[in-house]
């Protein structure tokens, strides 16, 4: 299940044990009608051990915060002043990756199965994939801390809802995680001080209650 090994990026603190993953082109049409997806949108905390295919990962990431207007580079979710300050990290059984939306690529960050470290609740580690939404406060410039916290929370919320609606359309299960140790996750991801984890969001096929 998504076992990918060997080197990544040199010079930025990333692991040298994971190869980057070139994702398939996302499917940007089709799926459940919006109002139908809204009707069935819900939080789920029980996951089966069925893997999520690379095509589904590509589609999910595009729906979450992908580029929907290539000429301008604008995205499927809004961001304050188009800062695009939120990055998505993808936690898989093989390791942790950072998604590069422009290259449509997962960049290897840290090898190994770290899913159980992401949330404080035991069910989190059972999900086949967990997304981490990380805000880069340096992109806000001279804004006050109060404003940057506000904007990062709002912008992460837009992306989180896109994830929810995609999962509803694809009959996947997800739930947003507010109960996470942001300091420890920042250390795990080797984030600079200007970058903060906002929320986590496990995704998987529903399991039996």
pLDDT digits (tens, 9 = 90+) for 52-79: 999 999 999 999 999 999 999 999 999 9
Q: Any idea where the domains of the chain sit in the sequence?
A: 51-204
At the fourth CATH level, the homologous superfamily of domain 51-204 is NADH Oxidase (3.40.109.10)
Cα–Cα–Cα angle for 52, 56, 59, rounded to 5 degrees:
150
Distances (CA, A) of 62 to 29, 48, 109, 186, 201: 11, 23, 20, 24, 15
Confidence of residue 152 (pLDDT cuts 50, 70, 90): very high
Q: How confident is the model at residue 153 (pLDDT cuts 50, 70, 90)?
A: very high
pLDDT at 209: 77
Return the pLDDT at 7: 30
* pLDDT tens-digit series, residues 87-120: 999 999 999 999 999 999 999 999 999 999 999 9
Look up the pTM and report it: 0.91
DSSP H helices, 100-144, are none
Per-residue pLDDT at 47 exceeds 70: yes
Q: Is 131 helix (H, G, I), strand (E, B) or coil?
A: strand
Sequence-distant (≥ 6) Cβ neighbours of residue 129 within 8 angstroms = 52, 57, 90, 91, 92, 202, 203, 204
**What is the sign of the dihedral through the CA atoms of 95, 98, 101 and 104?**
negative
Report residue 15's pLDDT band, with 50, 70 and 90 as the boundaries: very low
The per-residue pLDDT for 5 is 28
DSSP structural state of residue 202: E
Pairing state between β 105-111 and 95-100? antiparallel
Mean pLDDT of the chain: 92
Residue 17 confidence (pLDDT) above 90:
no
Q: What is the CA radius of gyration of the chain?
A: 16
Predicted confidence band at 208 (pLDDT cuts at 50, 70, 90)?
A: confident
Q: Which of 7-11, 90-94, 116-120, 129-133 has the lowest mean pLDDT?
A: 7-11
* Neighbour count for residue 38 (Cβ, 10 Å): 12
Flag whether pLDDT at 13 surpasses 50: no
């Amino acid at each position: 299940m998504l076992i990918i090994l060997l080197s990544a990026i040199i010079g930025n603190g990333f692991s040298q044990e994971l190869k980057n993953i070139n994702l398939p082109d996302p499917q940007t049409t089709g799926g459940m009608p919006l109002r139908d997806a809204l009707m069935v949108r819900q939080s789920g905390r029980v996951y089966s051990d069925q893997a999520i295919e690379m095509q589904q990962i590509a589609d999910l990431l595009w729906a979450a915060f992908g580029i929907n207007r290539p000429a301008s580079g604008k995205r499927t979710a809004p961001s304050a002043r188009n800062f695009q300050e939120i990055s998505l990290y993808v936690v898989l059984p093989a390791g942790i990756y950072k998604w590069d939306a422009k290259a449509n690529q997962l960049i290897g960050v840290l090898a190994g199965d770290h899913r159980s470290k992401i949330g404080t609740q035991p069910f989190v580690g059972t999900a086949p994939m967990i997304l981490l939404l990380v805000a880069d406060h340096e992109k806000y410039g001279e804004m006050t801390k109060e404003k940057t916290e506000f904007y990062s929370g709002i912008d992460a919320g837009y992306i989180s809802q896109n994830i929810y609606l995609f999962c509803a359309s694809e009959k996947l299960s997800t739930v947003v995680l507010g109960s996470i140790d942001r300091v420890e996750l920042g250390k795990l991801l080797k984030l600079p001080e200007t970058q903060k984890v906002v929320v986590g969001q496990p995704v998987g096929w529903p399991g039996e209650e």
